[in-house]
Amino acid sequence: MENIKGDIAKLLKLFGGQKQQEKAQEKDQAKKPPSGNKVLNFMPVAYNDDQEYKSLEETILTDSCGWIFAELEWEEWLKLPEAKRPILALTSGPGTGKSHMAAAVHDKLAQRAKEDDIGHTCVGHFYFHEQEDSYNYFLYGVITIIIQIAETNNIACKK
């Protein structure tokens, strides 16, 4: 019974967060560069992945993904010249924490992008899920990332 109450409380918090997010999105849209709106209007509709990301942020255990940034492969990937740096992809079996790791990597790279005055660093994220139609098509992932880059990097849109 105690587990059910806890689960219901989590669901209510999640639904309440969705309503707050909708209001925040309206305010955030006004802050985005005009180029982002142009790209958004040109693209087909794809599901907004922000709720999934926020859910991951709320459920990640503190310091659980820090080991990634101490790995030699991470350091080597960062040192590669931008033109030769491949896409960073996290792969593993179901339930191994890939989504939480991806959120931690996204946060680390988003911080680098904010510090990049030239605008060469672009960061996007999409979480694939087999069970959800809007999360299991590669095209939706590409559309989502293009929109994220357009909304956060005005320099990339002008190129």
What is the full per-residue pLDDT of the chain (159 aa) written as tens digits?
A: 556 766 677 667 766 765 555 555 555 555 666 666 666 666 666 666 677 888 888 888 888 888 999 999 999 999 998 788 888 887 888 888 888 999 999 999 989 888 887 777 888 888 877 777 777 778 888 888 888 888 776 666 665
Distance CA 4, CA 10 (A): 10
* Domain boundaries, given as residue ranges, for the chain: 1-31, 34-158
Return the number of other C-beta atoms located less than 10 Å from residue 118's C-beta: 6
Q: What pLDDT, on a 0 to 100 scale, did the predictor assign at position 36?
A: 61
Distance CA 36, CA 148 (A): 8
Phi, psi of 134 (to 5 degrees): -75, -5
